[in-house]
């Protein structure tokens, strides 16, 4: 499931069939009549994070922090009170995408940034210390693209399992803009639901385009690399994508594994692996 909060890519095993456009105006993958908004995006800056060979070059952590800034990794082994015995982001390579990053999760051993709680986290992010080109300020349009592969053996929490998020950084801590006019949370709106098996065991290309404004926009397309088949196509030309109250506030992306442990019986005890490659963050302009 992909839901609005700003936006979380929350993939849930409870979706037994594809329900395209549930809670939003996402198009069916068979409907190719709408011109893609991605084609009208004019990039003015671009930042890329890619892995090098698994046995050469810098460590995965050094590669990530060299681009996103020191402190951009929220892996369990980065916190002295967490699972420090294992490196949680490593490098690998295959014949489809070449060098890439592998994010690891351990049901029993991993905590949430050093705190044992009802959830666990292994994520990378851009944040206030990251370069300006990696943060979305009010009125800006950005594209985020990456490659993604996940095994069908990975067990998902029935509460939440997040692999990508757009998160609002509000320095005033005013969360009033996180609610609809009737008082319900904006997180109650699901943009699309899809069959879990349609995206597993395949390398995927994912592109997100967002305009960060009160009347902003959000577009997302997920396609299978092997045959370019479009599996998810979300088109939201008018959508509240801003919670800021000052010029310092911004929206930032996060990637990795962030999942609930509240229903731990639904999760496997084996190590889980999620693969990412070729993160690209761009700022630019889009046609009205």
> Which residue's structure tokens are 């506030």?
249
Under-70 pLDDT residues of the chain: 1-35, 173-188, 288
Which residue ranges make up each domain of the chain?
A: 2-136+148-285
Contact 235, 27 (CB under 8 A): yes
Q: 2-136+148-285 maps to which CATH number?
A: 2.60.120
- What is the pLDDT at residue 3? 54
- What is the pLDDT at residue 22? 28
- What is the pLDDT at residue 124? 98
- What is the pLDDT at residue 169? 86
111: Cβ contacts below 8 Å, ≥ 6 apart: 76, 79, 81, 82, 83, 117, 120
| Residues 178-206: tens digit of each pLDDT | 665 566 666 667 888 888 888 999 999 99
- What is the pLDDT at residue 158? 85
| Residues 140-177: tens digit of each pLDDT | 999 999 999 999 999 889 889 999 999 998 777 665 55
Please give the torsion angle defined by the CA atoms of residues 219, 94, 85 and 255, in that order, rounded to the nearest 10 degrees: -10
- What is the pLDDT at residue 208? 97
């Amino acid at each position: 499931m992909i839901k609005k909060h700003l936006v979380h890519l929350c993939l849930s095993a409870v979706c037994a069939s594809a329900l395209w456009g549930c809670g939003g105006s996402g198009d069916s993958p068979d409907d190719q009549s709408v011109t893609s908004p991605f084609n009208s995006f004019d990039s003015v800056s671009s930042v890329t994070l890619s892995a090098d060979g698994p046995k050469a070059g810098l460590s995965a952590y050094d590669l990530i922090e060299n681009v996103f800034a020191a402190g951009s990794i929220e892996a369990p082994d980065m916190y002295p009170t967490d699972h420090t015995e294992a490196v949680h982001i490593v490098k690998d390579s295959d014949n489809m995408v070449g060098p890439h990053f592998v994010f690891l999760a351990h049901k029993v051993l991993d905590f949430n940034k050093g705190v044992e709680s009802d959830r666990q986290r292994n994520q990378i992010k851009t944040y206030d210390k990251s370069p300006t080109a990696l943060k979305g300020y009010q009125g800006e349009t950005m594209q985020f693209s990456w490659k993604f592969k996940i095994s069908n053996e990975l067990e998902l929490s029935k509460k939440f399992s997040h692999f990508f998020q757009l998160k609002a950084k509000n320095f005033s801590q005013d969360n009033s803009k996180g609610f609809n006019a009737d008082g319900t949370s904006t997180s109650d709106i699901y943009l699309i639901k899809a069959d879990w098996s349609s995206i597993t065991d395949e390398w995927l290309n994912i592109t997100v385009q967002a305009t960060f404004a009160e009347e902003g926009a959000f577009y997302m397309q997920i396609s299978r690399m092997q045959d370019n088949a479009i599996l998810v196509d979300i088109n939201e030309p008018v959508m509240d994508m801003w919670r800021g109250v000052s010029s310092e506030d911004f929206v930032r992306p996060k990637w990795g594994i962030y999942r609930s442990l509240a229903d731990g019986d639904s999760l496997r005890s084996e190590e889980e692996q999620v693969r990412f490659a070729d993160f690209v963050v761009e700022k630019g302009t889009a046609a009205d």
